[in-house]
Amino acid sequence: MVVNAFPVASSFSRYVVLLPALLVGAGLIGGILILLGRAFAETVREARHPRLIIGGLVALAGAVVLLTYLGVNLPKE
């Protein structure tokens, strides 16, 4: 019974040790996404043709979704 509990305790302690690093990493990624999102919003606001920028992003996302659905893979070197 004690032998079976050891791997679970080892796994739990690993998560406890890694949790602060995961939280700091998630916070950094969130902060960067907020910063980039605000910069993009400001760029779109100041653009002469903001609909063109938004339309291009929608077209790019649509192309990625379509190519993924069709199963197209990029060539490997």
Domain encompassing residue 57: 2-70
Is the residue at 31 inside a domain? Answer: yes
Is the residue at 77 inside a domain? Answer: no
- Reported pTM: 0.60
Is the residue at 76 inside a domain? Answer: no
* Residue 19 phi, psi dihedral angles, 5° rounding: -60, -45
Residue 56 to residue 72: CA distance in whole angstroms: 21
Q: What is the mean pLDDT of the chain?
A: 87
Is the residue at 18 inside a domain? Answer: yes
Provide the number of structural domains found in the chain: 1
Mean pLDDT confidence for 12-36: 91
Confidence at residue 18, expressed as pLDDT on a 0 to 100 scale: 85
Confidence at residue 3, expressed as pLDDT on a 0 to 100 scale: 53
Is the residue at 75 inside a domain? Answer: no
Is the residue at 52 inside a domain? Answer: yes
Q: Give pLDDT tens digits for 16-26.
A: 888 899 999 99
Is the residue at 61 inside a domain? Answer: yes
CA 10, distance to chain mean position in Å, is 29
Please spell the DSSP secondary structure of the chain, one letter per residue. Answer: -HHHHHHHHHHHHHHHHHHHHHHHHHHHHHHHHHHHHHHHHHHHHH-S-HHHHHHHHHHHHHHHHHHHHHT--PPP-
Is the residue at 40 inside a domain? Answer: yes
Residue 10's pLDDT band (cuts 50, 70, 90) = low
